């Protein structure tokens, strides 16, 4: 039994349609060893234990899972020899999650399935240290790490290895900027491409991502978005694949999809804005930032028409949509070219700002204040006049907050008290 190896594997919680489809695909493509083991495990044939095949366990699809014993059984082929680092990272996490994981080689199943079943039965009924003791080495209670509710590390070196594995596999969404910046984009792209229907193009896409090394993160995101656009252009399943990218578990993948729109110069401005909405309303702030960055260059090409289109957005019930309308039109913006026309004449965008002068969302309030602060650097008198009028017409705490932040540069310069 020397070719039977015990390891641990990683887990997370949230089943997506993509993962359901992947599990179904894997069940249909079972190896001979997996099929043989399933025949021995199904219908409670082993010690009355119920096993599930190609099942989602805390975010990862595993070969076999026994919920009663929290036991995962993985049947490993030659490809696992190239995944030792990922397995080691998963080992570290599983020690704190309470799952037992048994890795068994294909050869072990095919050569001596009786011995394999004995190992599975013994492992299933063996006492779990965390289950019996409930304590760690220091005598304190050991609690499972919930990847879905983690707060995120403050430094890259503090990100748990299993979290990095999940981020780069496309199984986890980042929870803060530190995790976002830690994602290995070429690795993530190579992992995701086959899952979304681009298996044949995965190598070329990975090479395109490799070629972006050394650039800043936004340029790399835009570069991958452009590579995906070129790959999808003319593809028979373009719409379905784009939709899968745009709704992917990974927020980085969704950001790439937003930048696919940036690369598509054929869209009209109304079409572009409509296609951008899903990204502007995304739950992840990083994706929302990419949404306005993707639309902004095309807004500038026809500013007057774009401002008219955005009038409906500032009255939307979703604060993320209202914020987008403000953020995308900021005269100076962040990490993006300035809009000279609005620096010189901010009055032309006042119709977008007026409905937001007492917005209940602090997220929107900050954007409006930043918009006016941008304008104050080139048109201070105009900004002071707008702020004074708003305070007179809208004596609310929301308006006072916006005005206070909007005047911070002028206050620092001593122009206003």
Q: What is the pLDDT of residues 334-358, one digit of tens each?
A: 788 999 999 999 999 999 999 999 9
User: Hey, what domains does the chain have and what are their CATH numbers?
Assistant: 4-133 (3.40.960.10), 302-417 (1.25.40.290)
Helix (H) or strand (E) holding 71: strand 71-76
Q: How many CB atoms lie within 10 A of CB 67?
A: 12
Contact in structure between 123 and 102 (CB atoms under 8 Å): yes
- Rg (alpha carbons) of the chain, rounded to whole number: 27
User: Smallest Cα–Cα separation from 372: which of 309, 321, 326?
Assistant: 326
pLDDT, position 145: 45
Instruction: Give the whole-number percent of the chain exceeding pLDDT 70.
Output: 82
Retrieve residue 291's tokens. 């949404």
What global pTM score does this model have?
A: 0.69
pLDDT, position 287: 97
Strand bridging mode 100-105 / 71-76: parallel
pLDDT, position 132: 37
pLDDT, position 60: 66
pLDDT, position 172: 84
Q: Please count the residues of the chain.
A: 417
Q: How many CB atoms lie within 10 A of CB 81?
A: 8
pLDDT, position 162: 76
pLDDT, position 148: 62
Residues 70, 72: Cα–Cα separation, whole Å: 7
Q: What is the mean pLDDT of the chain?
A: 85
> Which residues of the chain are under the pLDDT cut of 70?
1-30, 57-60, 79-83, 87-97, 127-149
């Amino acid at each position: 039994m020397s070719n039977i190896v015990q390891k641990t594997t990683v887990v997370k919680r949230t089943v997506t349609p993509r993962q359901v489809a992947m599990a179904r695909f894997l069940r249909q493509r079972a190896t001979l060893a997996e099929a043989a083991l399933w025949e021995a495990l199904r219908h409670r044939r082993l010690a009355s234990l119920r096993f599930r095949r190609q099942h989602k366990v805390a975010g990862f699809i595993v070969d076999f899972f026994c919920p009663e014993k929290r036991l995962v059984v993985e049947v490993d082929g030659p490809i696992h020899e190239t995944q030792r680092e990922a397995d080691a990272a998963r080992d570290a996490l599983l020690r704190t999650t309470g799952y037992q994981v048994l890795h068994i080689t294909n050869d072990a199943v095919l050569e001596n399935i009786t011995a394999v079943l004995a190992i599975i039965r013994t492992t299933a009924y063996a006492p779990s240290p965390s289950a019996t003791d409930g304590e760690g080495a220091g005598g304190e209670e050991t609690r499972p790490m919930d990847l879905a509710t983690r707060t995120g590390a403050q430094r890259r070196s503090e990100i748990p290895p299993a979290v990095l594995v999940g981020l780069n596999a496309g199984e986890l969404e980042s929870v803060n900027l530190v995790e976002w910046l830690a994602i290995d984009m070429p690795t993530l792209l190579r992992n995701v491409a086959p899952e979304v229907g681009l298996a044949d193009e995965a190598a070329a896409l990975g090479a395109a991502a490799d070629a972006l090394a050394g650039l800043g993160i936004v340029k790399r995101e835009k570069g991958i978005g452009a590579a995906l656009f070129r790959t999808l252009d003319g593809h028979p399943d373009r719409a379905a694949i784009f939709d899968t990218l745009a709704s992917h578990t990974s927020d980085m993948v969704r950001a790439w999809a937003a930048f696919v729109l940036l690369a598509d110069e054929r869209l009209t401005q109304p079409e572009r804005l409509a296609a951008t909405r899903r990204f502007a309303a995304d739950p992840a702030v990083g994706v929302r930032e990419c949404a306005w960055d993707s639309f902004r260059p095309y807004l500038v090409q026809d500013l007057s028409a774009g401002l008219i289109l955005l009038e409906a957005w500032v009255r939307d019930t979703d604060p993320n949509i209202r914020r987008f309308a403000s953020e995308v039109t900021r005269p100076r913006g962040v990490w993006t070219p300035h809009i000279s026309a609005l620096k010189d004449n901010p009055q032309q965008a006042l119709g977008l700002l007026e409905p937001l002068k007492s917005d209940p969302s602090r997220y929107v309030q900050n954007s409006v204040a930043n918009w006016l602060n941008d304008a104050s650097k080139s048109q201070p008198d105009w900004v002071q006049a707008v702020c004074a009028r708003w305070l007179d017409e809208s004596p609310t705490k929301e308006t006072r907050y916006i005005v206070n932040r909007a005047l911070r540069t002028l206050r620092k310069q001593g122009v206003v008290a």
